[in-house]
Structure 1
């Protein structure tokens, strides 16, 4: 059932808490003193990049972590000797794989305390679509995670206090949902498609929190910062990274957390903050950055080597857009024979 929170109320929640952490805080700083013993966590693509940093840290804090990965053998090899971690097959572009993963979890009877929707598809230069004809970034980053979250609803509810954390990006600022062409069939721009998929993840957190908060399930969207060395920005290429000021002339990462250029441990910290911080006990449906709730900023700020704007834009926390996207997602997950002629 859809909640009754207005856009004004959602905006009021988007105010920094004064968490005591900042852009330079690491995942160890955020998790210090937190005991996750007995908690079950799923991290999609939890074997690579920020996901691997998060998986190791949550397991070290006592959580039992399941990593969802397209290639379980490769994922297991990336996490040798990490206690309380298991790997299961999950391909977010394949609805049958998503359904099977969720069914195996639900059949196990385990409650799910934290779901981290972390996996992301690097922006392909040319338009790629899945077997359903859906643009691949929208299908992977948003629709696959939406399907997974819906399917795991019983396990989240059984935890009697659960969190869903969507790893998004400040790039959401550069596109809302392109309602008339979400799959970019009329024209593909990789940056716009990426931005749309990241806006969708913020709206998913808003929509989920409005529907499920009464069941003890809260939703969060997290901008981790720009972390050189992850699969996503490694796909950009060194020349582009130099232009963006992310690596120096020798190819070494430029670390400046104040402007959003972070180490993996700094980048993963806000994900862990969303997943575990007691300061968020009564707060949900919000976008986080730098280990705190972000303020809203709709100014058209350019990205430069010295400025990477990442505050949340109001189009990404609009509850009406969140409801519309939720309904569109449900429609897109239906078999073609059961879809309405024109989803709204």
Structure 2
């Protein structure tokens, strides 16, 4: 991957950018000369993340901070409106924010299982709310940071909130499968999903006892953000390799069914 700064500064939004792969992704992109919108779930964690980026050598003029708790869809909408107002053209959206599903079944104020909402529904809503800025310039990209665990998953269509039979691994895997399926929705921009590798982040315990560094995972994400990297629209990448997604994620009817379900769930509390 080239370390050269892009010819023209782009504007990139990275969700879940306060730690791990998201923070490293924000750092690498800002170092390349991009304006990076750093998303944080709260003001304090956001201020801390920006301070650490500046301490790491990032030009503070390259950074913008936005705050939204993805367990509250109304905050996602407010954040999206602010981003759209301040950045009428958005070149890249990195949907990286994710949480591990908790041991006990947990439902958000919007009525959704928390990992399904934070890991998928919030990304779905944010992407749609930012359709204007993402469509403003040619060549825009959406990079969904997914997981190889999507291959073990199924969408519980009759009980997407998994209220009847809850398993934290099944819930988390479902959220990653949903994000991978969503990548194939038709849009004016190019969307891809990527498994950045098993990395030493807050989600490591779901996978293994040790993994690659967050920086290595971020490098794989940033590669897909680079306009010099040719992308296959709707494709799934395992680290740096183009890889077949789970068969169900390749079904057009499943893409339509999931997007219909997501529309219903994100609209449920929007009135």
- With the length of structure 1 as denominator, give the TM-score of the two structures: 0.73
Say if 2:46 and 2:67, in contact at 8 Å, map to a contact too: no
1: CA distance between counterparts of 2:48 and 2:255?
38
The partner residue of 1:144 within 111, 122, 135 is 122
Distance 1:270 1:317 in 2: 22
Which runs of no fewer than 5 residues in structure 2 stay unpaired? none
| Structure 1 partner of 2:193 | 221
Provide the C-alpha distance between the structure 1 equivalents of 2:102 and 2:199, rounded to a whole number of angstroms.
Answer: 19
| C-alpha contact (below 8 Å) 1:36/1:58 kept by paired residues | no
1:206 and 2:190 correspond: no
| SS at 1:137 equivalent | helix
- Does the CA contact (< 8 Å) of 1:270 and 1:288 recur in 2? no
Mapping for residues 200-279 of structure 1, pairs under 5 Å = 200-207=178-185, 211-212=186-187, 215=188, 217-228=189-200, 230-233=201-204, 236=205, 244=208, 246-247=209-210, 261-279=211-229
Q: Counterpart of 1:166?
A: 144
C-alpha distance in 2, partners of 1:169/1:77? 27
Maintained 8 Å contact 1:67/1:88: yes
The 8 Å contact of residues 93 and 142 in structure 2, kept in 1 or not, is answered as yes
More displaced 10-residue stretch of structure 1: 105-114 or 146-155: 105-114
Q: After superposition, give the CA deviation of every residue in 1:28-69 in whole Å (9 maximum; x if it has no partner).
A: xx2423516420000001121011111000000010001111
CA distance in 2, matches of 1:90, 1:31: 32
1:92–1:140 contact (8 Å) kept in structure 2: yes
Question: Contact 2:197 / 2:238 at 8 angstroms: preserved in 1?
Answer: yes
Shift >3 Å, 4+ stretches: 335-338
Aligned with residue 257 of structure 2, among 314, 324, 330: 324
Structure with more relative contact order (C-alpha pairs < 8 Å, separation 6 or more): 1
Q: What is the number of residues matched between the two proteins? A: 264
> 1:190-241 deviations in whole A, cap 9, x for unaligned?
000010000011111111xxx21xx3x010101011112x1222xx3xxx88
TM-score under structure 2 length normalisation: 0.91
Larger mean CA deviation between 65-74 and 150-159 belongs to 65-74
1:293 aligns with 2:264: no
CA RMSD of aligned residues (A): 1.9
1:90, distance to aligned residue in structure 2 (A): 1.4
- 1: CA distance, partners of 2:227 / 2:136: 20
Partner residue in 1 for 2:17:
46
- The structure whose Rg is larger is 1
